[in-house]
A and B are shown apart, each in its own frame.
Chain A
Amino acid sequence: MTDHRDLLRATPSLAAVLAIAGVGMGLVVLTSFGLMPLVGAPEASLAGWRLSGTDLLLGVRETLVIATASTVVACAIGLAVGSLVLAAGPGVRLVRAVAVVVLALPHLVGAASTGLLLRDAGLAERVAGAAGLPASAGWPRLVGGPWPVATVLEFAWKESAFVALVVVAALGATHVARTETAAALGATPWQRWRRVLVPASLPAVGASGLIVFVYTVGNYEVAWLLGRAYPEPLPVLAFRLFTSVDLTDRPAAAAAAAVTAALALGTAVVVAVLLPSLARALGHGVGAGGSDLAARAGAAR
């Protein structure tokens, strides 16, 4: 019964999402098969997919590298920052305020700032040079280099604030009771963090990590500003082809957009299904007796 009511309540928003995203995706797929050309008559064809075949594969690889690395780093930093906030030590308000400010900044501003900071002859290299470090001789290629370092750092910097706030929101109400109980049971601060906070926050980290991953897969501007010209992640590939002066490139652009969406949706569905058991499994893995302590601490509230 509850399931039915939940479904009923969700129907309006589901319908809106399906209407907008579904119609859009339908049109993108039709375009990728040459059925909705901007000029000329519609003609079913795989040309769009063939045209960008190699680029698509390289694009998937590049996108996965960026998204996976960004998600892992963002989750790790986010959990650490979230732990700091939950520890309620001095300066907590400041950490929380900084996280909110970081979250409010558009990615475009973040990407431009990261570029100014990390590129060759950027602020970091100049500061390093002024400090007497031998930076100017071989500043690492962080922007536009062989590895998407700057792209990943920008995503990780901004999304870690998001992960931290989700962790704080998910645990905030129950955290004090849990840690107090764990402390009463004789857990050291390290044990309280490893065996109580980490397992309890895993569902929140997993869910926000999934959002970070899916968002990163579809983001265009950060990789465009900070990445190299080749190979391109899928959104950059799609945008370049979509804005090509040759209108016959549109099917290839649509193919790249369709693969981007499939990658994001596929990951979302798989992770959403697996997340509960994944969190349980990871929770068990956090030290022997960790989950037991967490369960007892949880039961005590």
Chain B
Amino acid sequence: MTNPRARRTALVAAVCAGGLVLSACAGPVEGPTTQASGDRPWSEVLAEADGQTVDLWMFGGDDAGNAYVDDVLAPAAADLGVELRRVPVADTGEAIRRMLAENAAGRTDGAVDLVWVNGDNFATGRQADAWLCGWAEDLPNRQYVAADDPLVTSDFGVPVDGCESPWHKAQFTFVHDSARMDDPPTSLLGLLAWAEANPGRFTYPAPPDFTGSVFLREVLYATAGGVEEVPAQFDQAAYDDLSPALFDRLREVAPSLWREGTTYPRDEQELNRLFADGEVDVTMTYGPATLEQLVAEGTLPETTEILTFEEGTVGNASFLGLPASAQDRAGAMVVANLALSPEQQAAKADPSVWGQFTVLDLDLLSPAQRALFEDLPASTVLPPYEELSENAQPELGSGWVGPLDEGWRRQVLAETS
């Protein structure tokens, strides 16, 4: 029993304990959210940032995104005297956990300077008071963002309050292979009916996977009778009222899903694999920008097309968040501001670079800046953002996410597995 292998037995316990030991050092941080000194002249921030190294933690599984940060954003940051280091993570939650532990320990020399974040991960940080707030509205390039754009003032129902700076917009997208689907459905309920008419050809990732979780909210809107029937903020009475129809419908459709709904793909990558292998005819994503590359490299067929629904799909924005425990705050602000510049936003929107939709309001740009966007080549797979986001539905408040995921687990997965 002295073999080192025996020590691996408490692997999970050790993983849990490791985080807890760190977090236990100083206990939870109470009190108001840390405020940045946003009123000081930008030249002072630039001067302070000179020579700093900013660690940007972001999902590392998106090759185009990695290439954009390494080849376009980082060199531009270097011109401003800031070294930008990309820290790839398998899941944004890893960055959040690191940041929460550092924050709980009261550190201000943390390893996380910026996080590509949105939705429930942002809400988790707010729950623990771990974001630096009040800085994002003061960035000089913020002038190009419409102040009343609901996608950038609120993140899944949680007020942004300058705790994160918008980076790009996204639209939940259903994808099919036009060569395999003759008469594609035009609504979400139509898609579920199609699944019943074509047994085994449709499935969705199991929540709490991010994509599966969005799919649940899409079906909730559909079974509730529309966006206006679901209150944006979580409300137990509304949940009790609306969730039975949602779970009933999903239980009903389960026997017609891939593998009769006895199991579900774990995540979007797994669903994409099933789609690419021809096992199912539909996949879905909140990051349609990746489709261009997937088709170009041959992972997905050239006949890959977007399914357009009459009622639209949900849309959101993703952001760059600055942890309260960050060591290189000035540098992080300089990078966030740079990422908002028309030049960077246009470069990132190029389908051959990353193809992410801009958060800037083109009406606020100069003609020369606007031309940067107008001259971009069109995507071979995606329609323009205006078309894709037609009838866009707002995201539900993050308070809905947990109860819906857990409800699905108990009432659909447990009963149909």
Is B5 positioned at the interface, with any CB of A under 8 Å from its CB? yes
Q: In A13-50, which residues have CB < 8 Å from any B CB?
A: 13, 17, 20-21, 23-25, 27-28, 31, 36-40
B96 CB contacts on chain A under 8 angstroms: 245
Q: Chain B, interface size: which category?
A: 35 or more
Give chain B interface residues in 1-44, CB to chain A under 8 Å. 1-3, 5-21, 23-24, 28
Residues of A within 8 A of B187 (CB): none
B262 at interface, CB cutoff 8 A: yes
- Interface flags, A189-220, vs B, CB<8A=1, else 0: 00000000000000000010011001101111
Instruction: Give the interface segment out of B58-66, B123-131, B339-347.
Output: B123-131
**A23 with B16: CB separation less than 8 A:** no
CB-based contact A245/B20 at 8 Å: no
**Provided the pairs A38-B128, A230-B417 are in contact, do residues A24 and B18 lie with their beta carbons within 8 angstroms?**
yes
Taking CB atoms, residues of chain B closer than 8 Å to A246 are: 120, 124, 402
The dominant DSSP class at the B interface is: helix
Q: Cα distance A39–B130 when bound, in Å?
A: 11
The chain A residue with its CB closest to the CB of B409 is A230
Given contacts A27-B24, A28-B13, A218-B11, contact A245 B124 (CB under 8 A): yes
Given contacts A37-B28, A38-B28, A245-B402, contact A257 B13 (CB under 8 A): yes
Asked if residues A28 and B414 are in contact (CB atoms below 8 Å), the reply is: no
Q: Which 9 A-B pairs have CB atoms at the shortest separation, nearest pair first?
A: A24-B17, A245-B120, A229-B206, A121-B277, A228-B263, A214-B9, A235-B12, A218-B11, A264-B9
Chain B residues with CB under 8 Å of chain A are 1-3, 5-21, 23-24, 28, 91, 93, 96-97, 100, 104, 120-121, 123-124, 127-129, 206, 208, 259, 262-264, 266, 277-279, 398, 401-402, 409, 413-414, 417
Q: A121-B278, A242-B16 are in contact. List 19 more A-B contacts (CB 8 A).
A: A21-B7, A24-B10, A24-B13, A27-B24, A40-B28, A121-B279, A211-B1, A215-B5, A215-B6, A218-B9, A229-B206, A230-B206, A230-B414, A234-B12, A243-B93, A244-B402, A247-B100, A247-B124, A247-B128
Could you name 20 residue pairs across A and B whose Cβ atoms are closer than 8 Å?
Answer: A21-B13, A27-B20, A27-B24, A36-B20, A38-B100, A121-B278, A141-B259, A145-B259, A146-B263, A211-B6, A215-B6, A218-B8, A229-B266, A231-B414, A231-B417, A239-B12, A243-B91, A245-B124, A247-B128, A268-B6
Give A residues with C-beta under 8 Å from B.
13, 17, 20-21, 23-25, 27-28, 31, 36-40, 120-121, 141, 144-146, 162, 207, 210-211, 214-215, 217-220, 224, 228-231, 234-235, 238-240, 242-247, 253-254, 256-258, 260-261, 264-265, 268, 272
